Amino acid sequence: MELTPHVQEKLHAGHKLTAVVEAGLVQDFIKNTRVVALIEVASTNVKQGGEQALLIFLTARVPVHSAIDLSIEQVLPVDTNLKCEIDTSSLDVDTDVLVNITSGKVRLLFEMPFSQRTNAFVSEILRAAEVVSKRRGPPPEFAWLQPYQKSSTPSQDPASPGSAPTTAETLDGLGGDAVSLGDVSVDISQNLPSTYPDPANCNTENSSVHTENERSPDLGVNRHSIATGLSPTPIAARESHIRYQMAMREDAYTDIQEFTVFVGTWNVNGRSPTVGLAEWLAVDAEPPDVYAIGFQELDLNTEAFLFNNSPKEQEWLNAVLNGIHPKTKYRKVRLVRLVGMMLIVLVQEKHLAYVRNCAIDTVGTGIMNKMGNKGAVSVRLDLHNTSICFVNAHLAAHQEELERRNEDHDCIFQRTCFHLNITSNSPPKTIKDHEHIYFLGDMNYRINPCDMNIREVASSGEFKLLLQHEQLSQQKNAKRIFHKFKEGNILFKPTFKYDVDSDEWDSSEKARQPAWCDRILWYGDSITQLEYRSHPQLQISDHKPVSAIFMAGIKVVDTRRYRRIYEEVMKKLDKLENEFLPQVTIDTTEIILEPVKFYQSQTKYLTIANTGQVPVQFEFIKKLNDVSYCKPWLTIRPYSNFITPGEKCDVSLEVLVDKQTAAQLNSGVDQLYDILVLHLEGGKDLFITITGDYERSCFGSSINALVHMNKPFRDVPVAKLIDLESKQPKELSEMPYAVPKELWYLVDHLHSHGLQVKGLFTHPGLQKEIFEIRTCLDEGVEHQVLPGSVHSVAEALLLFIEALPEPVIPYSLYQAALDATPNFSLCKEVINKLLDYHRNVFEYLMAFLKELLNHTEDNNLDANTLAHVFGSVLIREPSAMAGSSDRRNQNQAIERKKQTFVHHFLMND
């Protein structure tokens, strides 16, 4: 029976049929025929194209003879809520497979024939879901599905889900059950409590009252799931299953209690706390249960920027402790600082015993994602049984840097990572893995130019008019940033920019327009904002502080109910008699990469499904004589996890060739090939190969090899590249360059276009432009002009130098360079020991940096900043020394020596 023409006839113009299959819809052991079709809309009909959906058709007769026999029963958009998995629990039946399709509250089980058509159909659904998961920007709207929704007719079949809606919850609110932040998707399974009270230590005196009628639900697990026979299930798997069962029954032993959370943010413009903070931190009648207080631009001194040292950390901490609410006592949970960003989290003393699993992280989004002048600092914790994350951010400044701010937002969400226990195998948590998220800070989003006097309107209080032109609100409404986050109504004047010690708008020469730079947003259920305000009476900065008060519903464990349910779970597990070995299936054992380019990540996915009857603990393990479970250019997330029967885990395999790994791939020492060993605890090992081709680049090539290439890098044969990177090359150029031509192009561009540009080597470039610069250098520079802004070229220059396999100051002279820093003459002796081409590069770069300093009035650069930035890339410690603990402890002293070494050459001839 050929279904394709009949289904295609049911589709509207511009909609394409991708795959179709006949299946049996199963419920209560009754099976009825359905036709399931995956359709796609043409890219010209939607904003981003590639939107797909599942149409489920009722059949008037079987087999289907024409389109008249088909009527739409349900429409399921392929969004982040849709899941498709194969259930092979009935392994004795080899003629059919069971396919679970879920979307929000819709749960459908189909029986499909074991055939190539079924395999292709499921593969297409999984591929469509993967495309959605990687999508950037606003989520799909699926407006094109409205005609199908209107024509759908719910079935009266006994097998049909009686209460299921015709679409996944309706197209305006797709998937009511699934938690999604769009660009910040929350995996509910990761929000399980990490630890539980020991029932033996439960304090029943403090328990809530309960009655004998409170009965916990049945365990909901096959009696063979946990075995206690001759070959017992590994204890780790058993304990994991107990934790999972307790997490699934959390509502039965927790109560929601209301806690007040104070969130405050203030850009203090490098000032010291010369005023009390009570007018900001203690203006409410009752003390909050939790404080989260964020600062930006805590210290603007070069010392803080270069070495993250600042006496103002203690000054502002003392000011906070003196300014918080006097009616109760508070204890510090965590303080985290990166240059000028600082976040302090306090809780009332009575709550401290219920705070656990605290962790911090810092993310610098400055140049090369290293400098911490912009970025975020974060604290996460579990308060009772609710996971909370506070993020204090300082995004890119200036009116025109809108896209840079959006990139900073993406970078913070992608790179923030909390390691709760370094010794455990549990994967780290990200911002998205928390139930309550508070995002605060100087976001730096401005008001777009408009046909009104911004200052007059801002002073008049007609904020609604201005907010229509406000960048953060526009970007959030477009679902580019903070998708599914909430922000309270802004009823206060813009908080930037003021003359210091006044309420007057900026009267400096720049005359910056007012803006609501300082913001507080939140995400999570059971959170109500009570206050959102600024505090204009505090005038020591060019920003005004902002605060918000939230009423947050926190899950609190009733220890008596917890112990009773825990005992019930244990009793049921103890009664299980049989054991089965862990068993999984993986969707592929061979992963083939697209061509991989330097510094450009590529992600593939591996699906591991638990097809057995016991929980599975899996882990990628290292092979014999290997130091890690995968090559350094590969990152596996999660590398270890727990899967219950019938569930699956999607593992991401991210390939990134960076400055640490490019050299070995360029020289042929390594290749993009690895064999991964997937170990099942208590079971067998599975082997997965990953392979691909690396497009060699001048980034990661040595100085000695590059000076002998008189044609574009991409035109040099691979055999010659490998020969030039060998210890004894045979094909050297008769007329080598004095310095690599790629280095010359970068420096010459900056010399021609960047000498007078402010923020050079401190202001980050755009990643897209850096990729374009890399491609241009590899393929040949036309007309001696590089693409991108000077900031992107500057960052590309630093990346080029840092990616050199042998630093400009070779590893063999690393210690000598550090020891020579007290004396310029000793430093010159180190340079004289360099090989000719390394010495040429060093002297060429020093001459360029001196030229930059000749224009310091225009570019605001100073010798200390340049010495710090270039010292860290010109002098790099050998990898054998980098990992030692004593070296880590001395890191600041080492960085100072590197800076001093370069500083000598900038200030002396």
Q: Over the stretch 748-788, which tens digit does the pLDDT of each residue have?
A: 999 999 999 998 998 888 989 999 999 999 999 887 789 99
The CATH number given to whatever domain includes residue 619 is 2.60.40.10
- Please report whether residue 429 resides in a domain: yes
The closest of 405, 437, 394 to 418, measured between CA atoms, is 437
Is 85 a residue whose pLDDT tops 70? yes
Who has greater pLDDT, 577 or 515?
Answer: 515
- Mean pLDDT, the chain, rounded, equals 84
Q: Percentage of the chain surpassing pLDDT 70?
A: 83
Cβ pair 171, 150 in contact under 8 A: no
Query: pTM above the 0.95 mark?
Result: no
Query: Of the candidates 638, 660, 695, which is a domain's last residue?
Result: 695
Which one-letter DSSP state was computed for residue 263? E
Q: At 427, is the secondary structure helix, strand, or coil? A: coil
pLDDT at res. 12: 92
Same domain, yes or no, for 688 and 768?
no
What's the whole-number mean pLDDT along residues 185-210?
Answer: 37
C-alpha 679/C-alpha 632 separation (Å) is: 20
The closest of 429, 620, 246 to 238, measured between CA atoms, is 246
Q: Over the stretch 159-169, which tens digit does the pLDDT of each residue have?
A: 343 333 444 44
Q: What is the token pair recorded at 907?
A: 């200030």
Same domain, yes or no, for 207 and 79?
yes
pLDDT at res. 645: 86
Q: What is the token pair recorded at 791?
A: 């900031």
CA 67 vs CA 1, 7, 58, 70, 115: distances in Å = 13, 6, 11, 5, 24
Q: Over the stretch 411-432, which tens digit does the pLDDT of each residue have?
A: 999 889 998 864 444 557 889 8
C-alpha 439/C-alpha 412 separation (Å) is: 11
The CATH number given to whatever domain includes residue 186 is 2.30.29.110
Cβ pair 427, 641 in contact under 8 A: yes
Who has greater pLDDT, 69 or 90?
Answer: 69
How many Cα atoms sit within 13 Å of 452 on the Cβ side? 18
Lookup result for tokens 């020591």: 540
Is 540 a residue whose pLDDT tops 80? yes
Who has greater pLDDT, 886 or 15?
Answer: 15
Is 686 a residue whose pLDDT tops 70? yes
The band of 109, judged by pLDDT with boundaries at 50, 70 and 90, is: confident
Lookup result for tokens 């990139």: 407
Neighbours of 97 (CB within 10 A): 20
Neighbours of 45 (CB within 10 A): 14
Measured at the CA of 792, the angle between CA 789 and CA 798, to 5 degrees, comes to 145
Q: Over the stretch 806-860, which tens digit does the pLDDT of each residue have?
A: 999 999 999 999 999 999 999 999 999 999 999 999 999 999 999 999 999 999 9
pLDDT at res. 889: 46
Domain range enclosing 757: 738-907
Same domain, yes or no, for 192 and 295?
no
Query: Of the candidates 202, 235, 268, which is a domain's last residue?
Result: 235
pLDDT at res. 879: 75
Residues 6+ apart with CB under 8 A from 477: none
pLDDT at res. 221: 39
C-alpha 505/C-alpha 512 separation (Å) is: 8
The closest of 564, 609, 617, 612 to 249, measured between CA atoms, is 564
- Please report whether residue 814 resides in a domain: yes
Cβ pair 407, 770 in contact under 8 A: no
Based on the structure, what is the number of domains in the chain? 4
pLDDT at res. 217: 36
C-alpha 580/C-alpha 568 separation (Å) is: 23
Same domain, yes or no, for 454 and 389?
yes
pLDDT at res. 568: 87
Is 202 a residue whose pLDDT tops 70? no
The CATH number given to whatever domain includes residue 887 is 1.10.555.10
Same domain, yes or no, for 104 and 39?
yes
pLDDT at res. 583: 85
The closest of 328, 230, 234 to 281, measured between CA atoms, is 328
> Of 23-37, 170-184, 759-773, 877-891, which has the strongest mean pLDDT?
759-773
Amino acid occupying residue 166: T
Who has greater pLDDT, 241 or 18?
Answer: 18
Helix or strand run (H / E) with residue 841: helix 836-853
- Please report whether residue 619 resides in a domain: yes
pLDDT at res. 627: 87
- Please report whether residue 573 resides in a domain: no
Same domain, yes or no, for 550 and 657?
no
Q: What is the token pair recorded at 369?
A: 């994602």
> Of 223-227, 369-373, 627-631, which has the strongest mean pLDDT?
627-631
The secondary structure of 523-573, three-state, reads ECCCEEEEEEEECCCCCCCCCCCEEEEEEEEEEEECHHHHHHHHHHHHHHH
- Please report whether residue 507 resides in a domain: yes
Q: At what angle do helices 790-802 and 863-874 cross, to 10 degrees?
A: 40
Q: Where are the beta strands (DSSP E) in 371-428?
A: 375-383, 386-394
Is 200 a residue whose pLDDT tops 60? no
The band of 878, judged by pLDDT with boundaries at 50, 70 and 90, is: confident
Lookup result for tokens 């020596």: 897
- Please report whether residue 528 resides in a domain: yes
Same domain, yes or no, for 660 and 803?
no
> Of 113-127, 186-200, 703-717, 879-893, which has the strongest mean pLDDT?
703-717
Same domain, yes or no, for 20 and 147?
yes
Same domain, yes or no, for 227 and 278?
no
The CATH number given to whatever domain includes residue 290 is 3.60.10.10
How many helices (H) and strands (E) are present in the chain, helices listed first? Answer: 27, 27
Is 671 a residue whose pLDDT tops 80? yes
pLDDT at res. 424: 47
Question: Can you spell out the DSSP letters for 198-227?
Answer: -GGG--GGGPPP--TT--PPP--S-TTSS-
Same domain, yes or no, for 168 and 20?
yes
Q: At 413, is the secondary structure helix, strand, or coil? A: helix
Query: Of the candidates 695, 715, 750, which is a domain's last residue?
Result: 695
Same domain, yes or no, for 771 and 806?
yes
- Please report whether residue 288 resides in a domain: yes
pLDDT at res. 165: 40
- Please report whether residue 247 resides in a domain: no
Same domain, yes or no, for 321 and 363?
yes
